[in-house]
Chain A
């Protein structure tokens, strides 16, 4: 652990270099390979060391990165500390260890600006920087603003928004200001969207599309959720519907009505059931996905996700209509 007065980027980088030297000495049987595809800054308030560690450990398989973790601590006593370490996995047929660097900071809110100053010198040159705001409350905290200046790509989970409409409004504002928004909750909808896309591969469904006049998306929770709004907005953009109904959060069922005919997709335990026009029901595997898996999907999109960018403002409109 580095004392507060010593926390400088150069010093932390020197400590990282020492970590590599030590690893090389200790692991005489295995070569140690440093791998890095980006800088991932994680900002969190929760005391979820184990969960976060496991997620980053899983993520490093497909996105080896320099991880910079900021834990924002409550408390009156001003704190700012840092430690460096490496996470390794046996790769390459178990002959070599693949290792990623991690720098972990703990700071009280009054020291967040200090974190910003140090972190500026720690991002890996020439590689992308992504900011994962694990606790979305930080997004709305004024003292957190300096951290937001570290990256133009932000990863968030809108499922954690207290108020889905307010959260989406904030994300949309940032999108308009040139931010690249990545929402883990949008990735959760991939299986739903994929199932619908597959239904519309059938000619009879495709023919019906022009006559669909009502969309109904329901969540399993009472509290309105961004996912329900996203899905309804995405569908409405693609169908000439007159009416969109949404309710709750955590998508559980969607129905598309064309007069007396209905297409339906229902969620069940680790599966979706898609009911086509002729009543044929197909079971679609939808295993529970870990945060790392969902983030992996988001990170695999290197450029702009134009479909998400187009859906976000419409989801906000849906939220306002529902309210």
Chain B
């Protein structure tokens, strides 16, 4: 075991990234330009990266190291969020950027990569620690993992670590997810794999854990005795934005619910772990995901609603329907909206519906979790036969304004005893003042440090596929054509309202 660094001061310094290099497959792609390099540069600005830190970009395009540096400089300048660009720092950071042109299917490329990494380890003292980041098309994940393994790059010598980060989607369905698992595990052990779900890197999603397990006030209420229902909403105001071809094959259920939103649900509903440590936390998340009721095909229509937006005029603007989007089949059966009532079969949550919805072309961009508590058991405050007390509502806002609100009833000033709902708000940004790190900054540091707490594990991937696969099967075998069934700019199809109305609930206007 490495000797502890006596100069560390955990009260003052952020967690230290050890000397290492990051190898990005798909270095010419959007994710690298928009997220990965800006995040790494920002980490350098925050003094989070080790001295001699290096990045090796790989893609098919022929480019020199210098060309790659120039290209990345332009990207960082364009996509850096809430942060100044410091030319001197960039010049220093860019000296650690290298590029290798090659095809993920070409074994010779991995040999060249191996030699390049040896040179870099020598020149920049990276101790041969390497994080491989697959930012390529998902169909290349298995090929790249095998290529790395065959070239001996999956195992480091002399205690050097090797890790592999994989971006979602982790398969297209349950079967392909298992195939991917087999391909990844051929050369990499599970503890070397970091399946990234950027939702888990968001400060507010992490804050759910802090809120739940750092405040004993709510824990006694966090169960079926006091909670009526939970709503998780991830709405986007935009459409498919030129990604029609890709989205047509994916759909809202696969793109959002199978991964991001089920992870959020698991974070809200999981049992406390004994320690805040990767294995323990992920064990609890996995356990929760395995507790989700798997619907029979005959039950799917009762518990899940698919939607697809049609054309509309919203606020004087003509919006096209999904089938009119570029690259989309005129008869596409893709769900651009999905709402599912999940049921968790354990003692804590039995009987509490977890409503999860996501959609494109909704009235606004918002992601939040609303926990609706039970109504008062006996109403004291009736006005003209109407109970003025409203159930308490706890809202955990993930975006755009990260924070927490608690709605409770208060007496309206004046004569009589009329109640009205008031809200106590906590806003993450304004309460702490400082800039919050982006999800990719958090997750990249975690992977380099070796902390997998916020990464998805294979059993979690499998459990979430298991929960959505019956719904996908039913939707995939549909013979009728119900689409489009909601107007662009609206809150989704009418059937989604009926889904909640069956239990006397309704969607919040987020």
Contacts and interface: CB of A to CB of B under 8 A. Distances in A.
A206 interface: yes
Interface stretch (A8-16, A128-136, A172-180, A191-199): A191-199
A193 B11 contact: no
Closest 9 pairs (CB-CB, A-B): A61-B433, A91-B430, A197-B7, A62-B433, A283-B92, A282-B51, A238-B6, A92-B427, A194-B13
A301 B11 contact: yes
A198 B89 contact: no
Nearest to B14: A194
B296 interface: no
B16 A285 contact: no
B125 A280 contact: yes
Contacts of A297: 12
22 contacts: A91-B427, A193-B7, A193-B9, A193-B12, A194-B12, A194-B13, A194-B47, A196-B7, A197-B7, A197-B13, A198-B51, A201-B5, A201-B17, A202-B19, A202-B51, A202-B52, A202-B125, A206-B5, A238-B6, A297-B12, A307-B11, A307-B12
A280 B19 CA distance: 13
Contacts of A55: none
Interface in A248-303: 271, 274, 276, 278, 280, 282-285, 296-297, 301
Contact of A92 (B52, B88, B91, B425): B425
Nearest to B53: A282
Given A202-B125, A206-B5, A284-B47, A190 B12 contact: yes
A274 B11 CA distance: 23
B11 A198 contact: no
Interface of B: 2-3, 5-9, 11-13, 16-19, 44-45, 47, 50-52, 86, 88-89, 91-92, 123-125, 127, 401, 403, 425, 427, 430-434
B47 A191 contact: yes
Nearest to B84: A287
A96 B45 contact: no
A200 interface: yes
Nearest to A209: B6
Given A91-B427, A197-B16, A305 B11 contact: yes
Nearest to A186: B12
B429 to A, nearest CB: 8
Nearest to A98: B430
Nearest to B46: A285
Interface in A79-111: 89, 91-93, 96, 98
A78 interface: no
Given A196-B7, A199-B51, 11 more contacts: A98-B430, A191-B47, A193-B12, A194-B13, A197-B5, A198-B16, A200-B7, A202-B125, A203-B2, A280-B124, A282-B52
B127 A203 contact: yes
A204 interface: yes
Contacts of B125: 202, 204, 276, 278, 280
Contacts of B17: 201
B128 to A, nearest CB: 10
A206 B50 CA distance: 14
A201 B3 CA distance: 10
Contact of A93 (B9, B89, B124, B401): B401
Interface of A: 33, 35, 61-62, 89, 91-93, 96, 98, 190-191, 193-204, 206, 209, 238, 271, 274, 276, 278, 280, 282-285, 296-297, 301, 305, 307
A106 B448 CA distance: 54
Contacts of A204: 125
B116 to A, nearest CB: 18
B86 A62 contact: no
Nearest to A237: B6
A194 B434 CA distance: 19
Nearest to B7: A197
Contact of A202 (B9, B50, B430, B432): B50
Contacts, number: 105
Contacts of A193: 7, 9, 12-13
A282 B92 contact: yes
Contact of B47 (A61, A203, A285): A285
Contacts of B8: 197
Nearest to A302: B11
Nearest to A197: B7
B186 to A, nearest CB: 30
A282 B125 CA distance: 12
B101 to A, nearest CB: 26
A200 B12 CA distance: 17
Nearest to B124: A280
B434 A62 contact: yes
Contacts of B51: 198-199, 202, 274, 276, 280, 282
Contacts of A301: 11-12
A157 B239 CA distance: 55
A285 B45 contact: yes
Contact of B50 (A93, A201, A285): A201
Contacts of A198: 16, 47, 50-51
Nearest to A190: B12
A253 B337 CA distance: 60
A292 to B, nearest CB: 9
A61 B91 CA distance: 33
A278 B89 CA distance: 20
Contacts of A296: 433-434
Contacts of B44: 285
Contacts of B2: 203, 206
Contacts of A278: 125
Given A195-B47, A198-B16, A199-B51, A61 B430 contact: yes
B401 A92 contact: yes
Given A61-B430, A92-B401, A201 B16 contact: yes
A307 to B, nearest CB: 5
Contacts of B13: 190, 193-194, 197
Nearest to B86: A285
Contacts of A93: 401, 427
Contacts of B89: 271, 283, 285
A201 B88 contact: no
Nearest to B158: A203
A186 to B, nearest CB: 9
B181 to A, nearest CB: 33
A204 B430 CA distance: 43
A284 B93 CA distance: 10
B427 A271 contact: no
A201 B403 CA distance: 36
Nearest to A195: B47
Given A92-B427, A93-B427, A202 B127 contact: yes
